[in-house]
Amino acid sequence: MGRALEAVAGFATNPSTTFTALTPSTGQSFTVRGTDITKGTWLLSSWAFNATAGELRIRSPRLHDFFSGIRNRVTANFVGSLYLDPTGDSYAQRLYAQDAITVELTGGAAEIDTATLLIGYEDLGGVAGRFIDAPTLMKIGLNVVTVEVTVTAVTTGLYGGAVAVNSSIDNLIANTDYAILGGFSDTRGDTCRITGVDFGNIGPGFPLEPSIRSFTSNWFLKLANSFGGAWIPVFNSANKTQTTIDVQTTGTGGTYIINLELVQLLPGQVPGGATGAAVQAGGGGAPTSAGQPH
């Protein structure tokens, strides 16, 4: 299964009252990637970070309509889910391969405003990212550990300041799989993204809203629960130097202390990863069984 999860972020400069098409971050596009059309591609969430209140409009002739589509009010300085909130039960919007989605934003007249679509691919050819579902996490999860990094965002509305997950504190156990539950920061930003070969170099992300830390701290677990699928990204610590965290935000930029909440997994349980035993056995003496309280 070629799973992939991509936080496609974009920005609009001085959109004011005019719906302005978002410029996607470098290397990204609001056109859905080419996929096997028999497998689902889903819009799992969307959010925006405006300094001034506005509207986020997502539309396509392939979706409900090209007139107004999915149009939601963006309140100023709050980066919560605007549609498809994975807090509990939710409903994903199906997307179509190669469909160019029009994403527009209104907002302030003298600022960069930003928005993000979180797109999940059930089978994206040539990617095969490593993801697990919630029951698997409950079965093979061992210990909780936090990764804390400092990211300096750029002021252009693009993703910037990428640092490796071990750049601040290098405490991950060698050759061990870790599931990313979510994360948070004490500073508001649009999106925090995690990129690495284990995710097929396509970055999953979550909204950086400090007032809902309890919500974003297990964002991916909530996605997996709400949409009933394997949407929890997994990476191996052997790839820690090449697994990076970056931030996309408005023209204010800023310094972000990001906490990623991870769960150490039993070795060799998630397919498609480093074997964890190329030279040294993985798991750091991990127990051979795991689980959650019953």
Partner 1 sequence: MNQQIERDFPPGHPGASDYDPESPEAIEWARKNVHPLGDRDFAVDHPKALDTAGNLNHLPVTAGVDPLNPHREAFTGRTPKQVAAIKTLSEAASKAAVESPVVQPVDAAMVNRLLDQKRTELNRDLLTPEEYQSVLRDYHAVRSSGVAAATEELKLTTEQQAISYVMSRGYQVDVATIIVQREGAEKILKSAGIVPG
Task: Find the shortest distance in angstroms from Cβ 193 to partner 1.
Answer: 8
Residues between 156 and 215 with contacts to partner 1, criterion CB under 8 A: 156, 158-162, 174-175, 186-187, 193, 195, 197-202, 210-211
* DSSP β-bridge partners for residue 182: 261
Least distance between partner 1 and beta carbon 211 (Å): 4
User: Is the Cβ of residue 70 or residue 173 nearer to partner 1 in the bound state?
Assistant: 173
DSSP string, the chain: --BEEEEEEEEEES-TTS-EEPEEPTT--SBPPP--TTS-EEEEEEEEE-SS-EEEEEE-TTSS-SSS-EEEEEPTT---EEES-TTSS--PEE--TT-B-EEEE---SSSEEEEEEEEEES--TTT-B-EE-HHHHHHHEEEEEEEEEEEEE-SSSSEEEEEETTSS---PPTT-EEEEEEEEESS-EEEEEEE-GGGTT---EEEE-GGGHHHHTTHHHHHHHHTTS--EEEEEGGGGGG-EEEEE--TT-EEEEEEEEEEEE-TT-STTS--S-SSS-SSSS--S------
Stretch that binds partner 1, among 40-48, 67-75, 119-127, 216-224 (CB under 8 A): 119-127
**Contacts (CB under 8 A) with partner 1, residues 221-280:** 236, 238-239, 241-242, 244, 246, 252-255, 271-275, 278-280
Maximum Cα–Cα distance across the chain: 59
Nearer to partner 1, 69 or 160 (CB): 160
Nearest approach, Cβ of 71 to partner 1 (angstroms)?
Answer: 26
| Site stretch for partner 1 (CB under 8 A), options 58-66, 82-90, 126-134, 138-146 | 126-134
Q: Which of residues 19-78 bind partner 1 (CB under 8 A)?
A: 26-27
Nearer of residues 145 and 174 to partner 1, judged by Cβ: 174
The residue count for binding partner 1 (CB under 8 A) is 53
| Contact between 217 and partner 1 per CB under 8 A | no
Min dist. Cβ of residue 76 to partner 1 (A): 14
Stretch binding partner 1 (CB under 8 A), from 51-59, 88-96, 133-141, 153-161: 153-161
Question: What are phi and psi for residue 214, nearest 5 degrees?
Answer: -65, -20
* Residues at the contact surface with partner 1, assessed by CB under 8 A: 2, 4, 26-27, 124, 126-130, 152-156, 158-162, 174-175, 186-187, 193, 195, 197-202, 210-211, 236, 238-239, 241-242, 244, 246, 252-255, 271-275, 278-280
